[in-house]
Amino acid sequence: MTNFTHFNDDGRAKMVDISNKSETARKAIARSSVQMNRIVYENITQQKIKKGDVLSVAQVAGVMAAKQTSSFIPMCHPIPISGVDLSFEWVYTEKDMYELLIDAEVKTVGNTGVEMEALTAASATALTVYDMCKAVDKGMVIGQTYLLEKSGGKSGDYKR
């Protein structure tokens, strides 16, 4: 079991000790998406959703989620987040279908990375879009969520 960092010698879960890791600038960018029909797309872009400005509320939800990641991901360290930025891009897919791409960038200066915070932010943003629009159409699909890139730390840089 010693090959796994989150297990102790008895095979039980543990939080990895990061006290000996160097503090460096770290950044992670994750992506998620929400696929929807033209009616939902138009309601969002024309500000017709009754719950309010969908993208603004979803953006705030993503920031809040990044800050709370360690509260519900058991082995995640609570870390000081330097910044969270969420961006959106609309893509017309086919046959009156649209996809909202959601990118979440999280930064810190610390001794552990922010990949989980970026993934959590992207996920919560997509979930919030779904929640705010489900009265219009429950058939929306939350797409794959994945890490686009990370920088800093012992393991070096990664780019998908």
DSSP annotation of 145: -
Q: What are the boundaries of each domain within the chain?
A: 24-151
Check the annotation: does 77 bind a ligand.
yes
Question: 129 pLDDT exceeds 60?
Answer: yes
Check the annotation: does 116 bind a ligand.
yes
Question: 2 pLDDT exceeds 60?
Answer: no
Check the annotation: does 75 bind a ligand.
yes
pLDDT tens, position by position, 67-111: 999 999 988 999 999 999 999 999 999 889 999 999 999 999 999
Q: Is the pTM of this model over 0.95?
A: no
Q: Is 103 a catalytic residue?
A: no
Supply angle C-alpha 144, 150, 153, rounded to 5: 140
Domain spanning 24-151, CATH architecture: 2-Layer Sandwich (3.30)
Out of 10, 53, 103, 131, which one is annotated catalytic? Answer: 131
Collapsing DSSP to helix, strand or coil, 21 comes out as coil
Query: Can you give the pLDDT at residue 25?
Result: 95
Mean pLDDT of the chain: 93
pLDDT tens, position by position, 3-51: 667 788 888 887 787 888 888 999 999 999 999 999 999 999 999 999 9
